[in-house]
Amino acid sequence: MKRTPINELLKSTDLGKEINVKGWVRTKRGNKSVAFINLNDGSIIHGIQIVADLTNFDENLMKLITTGSCISVNGTLVQSQGQGQAVEIQATHIEVYGSADAELYPLQKKGHTLEFLREIAHLRPRTNTFGAVLRIRHAMAFAIHKYFNDHGFYYIHTPIITGSDAEGAGAMFRVTTLDPINPPKNDKGEVNYEEDFFGKETNLTVSGQLEGELAALALSKIYTFGPTFRAENSNTARHLAEFWMIEPEVAFNDLVDNMDLAEDFLKYLIQYALEHCNDDLEFLTKMYDNELLSRLRFVVENHFERLTYTEAVEILKTTDHKFEFPVDWGADLQSEHERYLVEKHFKRPVILTHYPKEIKAFYMKQSEDGKTVKAMDVLFPGIGEIIGGSQREEDYEKLHTRILEMGIHEKDLWWYLETRKYGTCPHAGFGLGFERLILFVTGMGNIRDVIPFPRTPKNAEF
RNA sequence: UCUUCCUUAGCUCAGUUGGUUAGAGCAUUUGACUGUUAAUCAAAGGGUCCCUGGUUCGAGCCCAGGAGGGAGAGCCA
């Protein structure tokens, strides 16, 4: 008999129908004559109740059906006699695919701490929490592609191995096939990367933006969505060494267009989650964050506050609120400053623009005032910076001068500069941290709990 | 990397002034119960007190070093 997913069975009204269901046992309880098995197959957060009349089942078979075991059940879909569920399965035959030793299986019927579940990341997808997070993660990935496809963007695959470190976005992981014990040396006694696989030093990408710009200056509207690697020794609830990033880049867009895109895009994604992930969001709201659903709705329904860095500094300087770090024009804002603006002052998402050029990347469009660049950071409550982007400097001379000023090796960027030499145009884009989006949408507190197998300093298990 | 807190049973945690045989709840096992919902009730089993060294008649507890984890910060997405 063909398996029916549990999400279909739970909404079925086809009482009396013979069905087959397969999944993993969450709990088993009962007495001498009847057993109740809560079975989950990951198709939905809810399990279906299997009722086994023990006069029909061998005692030894029933002993194998433990928390964590995997079974296949044939039976009849019936109206439930008990409270708590509309329908249940009256079992006629049960096959055990794999038992799970109850003395050893680490997942219990009771709740576990998220820290403990991180240590058993190979089993945590079987929990309600991670099932919900992973289904939402999928829905967001799908919605990202759908949004861009529906808006005329093309998905570009930028390289994961890169030969330049000029992007300046952070420390990089080296990629090499050289012998780590006895690498070939050159005349100066340095490692000779000319003998390495690519004939030069290579690293894992820290951003697909520069290559994304090349594609945007041909296809007009593009986006990337791929893994990104940062070798920073960051130990926080918001950083990973390996994470996924979405980077749209649009020719002919200016900073305002860029902000409009970022706001519309984020609201679309959150709205998509509200419409397609309701069961999972309700579970997370109930178990972890009472205000999750109302916060998501609030973000969708209200405009993002837009102001310049200079205006933000004025607000921070005139408030009575005491900060640990001083606020001064020219210095980057501290986390506490961003949090104050988002969570206390405006109480909504904030887009800050026109930062001092000294604290931003070389490729950002220089403003007419000569002091700021057309950068934008989208700040979210509880997350901080969820998007960072800018209009790009399309003027060859200005860009070239800025590269020299910042001491960047121009020979690594000849190809990037050529786009400004041949048919340059105004363009803008941004980067959205996928896991930070998932943090916000799920209400989880630690970024290690929104990616299946987190990579962080001192941790690459699984 | 910095600040700070933590590490005791499978899990979550108590553990007094340094003192005999280290505790609880849950989980597990066994038993009771003819419809349970994290079932309930009863009993039992279960310990490298993170590691190394030191102080002491005696260390889960005090000291030093190390490892791992949490929270906050920096860097950023």
Same domain? For A96 and A240 the reply is no
Same domain? For A223 and A348 the reply is yes
Residue closest to A71 by CA, chosen among A26, A109, A32 = A26
Domain range for A360 is 126-170+206-449
Q: Where are the alpha helices (DSSP H) in A76-193?
A: 114-119, 128-150
pLDDT at A192: 93
Same domain? For A159 and A42 the reply is no
Query: Which residues lie below 8 Å from residue A216, measured CB to CB, with a gap of 6+?
Result: A222, A249, A250, A251, A427, A429
Same domain? For A312 and A396 the reply is yes
- The answer to whether residue A213 scores a pLDDT higher than 90 is yes
Let me know if residue A34 belongs to a domain.
Answer: yes
Let me know if residue A183 belongs to a domain.
Answer: no
CB burial readout A338-376, b (16+ within 10 A) else e: bbbbbeebbebbbbbbbbbbeebbbbbbbbeeeebbbbb
The CATH number that applies at residue A19 is: 2.40.50.140
Same domain? For A101 and A135 the reply is no
- The answer to whether residue A165 scores a pLDDT higher than 80 is no
Same domain? For A346 and A401 the reply is yes
Query: Protein A136 CA to nucleic acid B72 C1', in Å?
Result: 28
- The answer to whether residue A170 scores a pLDDT higher than 90 is no
Among A100-114, A248-262, A317-331, A375-389, name the most confident range: A248-262
Let me know if residue A48 belongs to a domain.
Answer: yes
Let me know if residue A454 belongs to a domain.
Answer: no
Let me know if residue A193 belongs to a domain.
Answer: no
Same domain? For A153 and A96 the reply is no
Query: Protein A455 CA to nucleic acid B69 C1', in Å?
Result: 15
Instruction: Please tell me the distance from the alpha carbon of residue A189 to that of residue A7, in angstroms, as a whole number.
Output: 64
pLDDT at A100: 93
Same domain? For A221 and A344 the reply is yes
The alpha carbon torsion through A330, A332, A334, A339 (nearest 10 deg) reads: 90
The CATH number that applies at residue A231 is: 3.30.930.10
**pLDDT tier for residue A324 given thresholds of 50, 70 and 90:** confident
Same domain? For A256 and A341 the reply is yes
Query: Protein A31 CA to nucleic acid B17 C1', in Å?
Result: 51
Residue closest to A358 by CA, chosen among A370, A344, A342, A346 = A370
**pLDDT tier for residue A83 given thresholds of 50, 70 and 90:** confident
Let me know if residue A201 belongs to a domain.
Answer: no
Query: Protein A144 CA to nucleic acid B53 C1', in Å?
Result: 56
Let me know if residue A1 belongs to a domain.
Answer: no
| Domain count along chain A | 2
pLDDT at A257: 97
Same domain? For A36 and A100 the reply is yes
Q: Which of A108-112, A210-214, A238-242 has the lowest mean pLDDT?
A: A108-112
Alpha carbon separation from A121 to A1, A114, A124, A141, A462 (Å, rounded) = 33, 10, 5, 21, 7
Same domain? For A353 and A422 the reply is yes
Q: Which nucleotides of B are covered by protein (CB under 7 A)?
A: 1-2, 10-13, 26-30, 32-39, 67-77
Let me know if residue A190 belongs to a domain.
Answer: no
Same domain? For A147 and A66 the reply is no
In this predicted model, what pLDDT tens digit does every residue of A37-47 receive, in sequence order? 999 999 999 99
Residue with nearest Cα to nucleotide B26 C1': A110
